[in-house]
Amino acid sequence: MPTFDLPVPDIAPWRAGNTGVEGVWHFDSGASGEAVLISALIHGNELCGAWALKGLLEAGLRPARGTLTLAFGNLAAFDRFDAADPDAARFVQQDLNRQWTPERIQAADTLERRRAAALAPFVQRASWLLDLHSMHEPGAPLLLTGLHERNLDLARSLRTPGHIVIDAGHQDGVRMRDFGRFGQPDHVAPETRSLLLECGFHGALS
């Protein structure tokens, strides 16, 4: 595995959140607009997203319209992180990003399923979702859109990163990107958008 150069972000000042759910921050502009959710640390060894949320919180970013929710996902897995064995911190019992069906969430029989249950109300209220991830091997950043044209149109309009993956989901379970309304056809949930951004190798500085 390549050298893991990205340091662990200190998110202790932001860990409590302001919603009653650990690691989740919510800001309401008071004006109508999209309900945006940006998530990170769905896998505990994918630190780049945590750095991004930390930066947004430290900058005091607030929405001018609509709402903004920032969510640190699998904190228990993140707490296990060791740069000498980063894969061991991907999850504790189960991959959090394969648990996003009502049946798995309601089972509440693993740490990750209970965490999904805590995060689910914020995902359900969101209309736009950006889920931040990184990759096991070095590679160019990717936007994963799923099969919905509305997501593909958004990905193309961003013009970065240059690589877009139109995927049918994961065979081992539903990702958060496809949970609830986000997984519904364009004619059923035309107001929603959800993208999964793979930012490159886990340990790369850029």
CB hemisphere CA count around 25 (13 angstroms)? 23
CATH code, domain with 46: 3.40.630.10
Query: Is 96 among the domain residues?
Result: yes
User: Which residues form the domain of 71?
Assistant: 12-201
Confidence of residue 84 (pLDDT cuts 50, 70, 90): very high
pLDDT(1) > 80:
no
Query: Is 125 among the domain residues?
Result: yes
pLDDT of residue 2: 84
Query: Is 3 among the domain residues?
Result: no
Query: Is 56 among the domain residues?
Result: yes
Of the candidates 74, 66, 77, 59, the one whose C-alpha atom is nearest the C-alpha of residue 37 is: 66
pLDDT(63) > 80:
yes
**What is the rounded distance in angstroms from the CA atom of residue 155 to the CA atom of residue 63?**
21
pLDDT(132) > 90:
yes
CB 126 within 8 Å of CB 36: yes
Query: Is 17 among the domain residues?
Result: yes
**What is the rounded distance in angstroms from the CA atom of residue 176 to the CA atom of residue 98?**
8
Query: Is 7 among the domain residues?
Result: no
Query: Is 77 among the domain residues?
Result: yes
Over pLDDT 90: what percentage of the chain? 97
Model confidence, pTM: 0.97
What are the C-alpha distances in Å from 165 to residues 37, 68, 156, 178, 195?
21, 26, 11, 14, 10
The pLDDT tens digits for 147-172 are 999 999 999 999 999 999 999 988 89
pLDDT(118) > 80:
yes
pLDDT of residue 56: 99
Total domains in the fold of the chain: 1
**Per-residue b/e over 176-197, b at no fewer than 16 CB within 10 Å?**
bbbbbbbbeeeeebeebbbbbb
CB 133 within 8 Å of CB 197: yes
∠ at Cα 173 (103, 79), nearest 5°?
Answer: 90
Query: Is 191 among the domain residues?
Result: yes
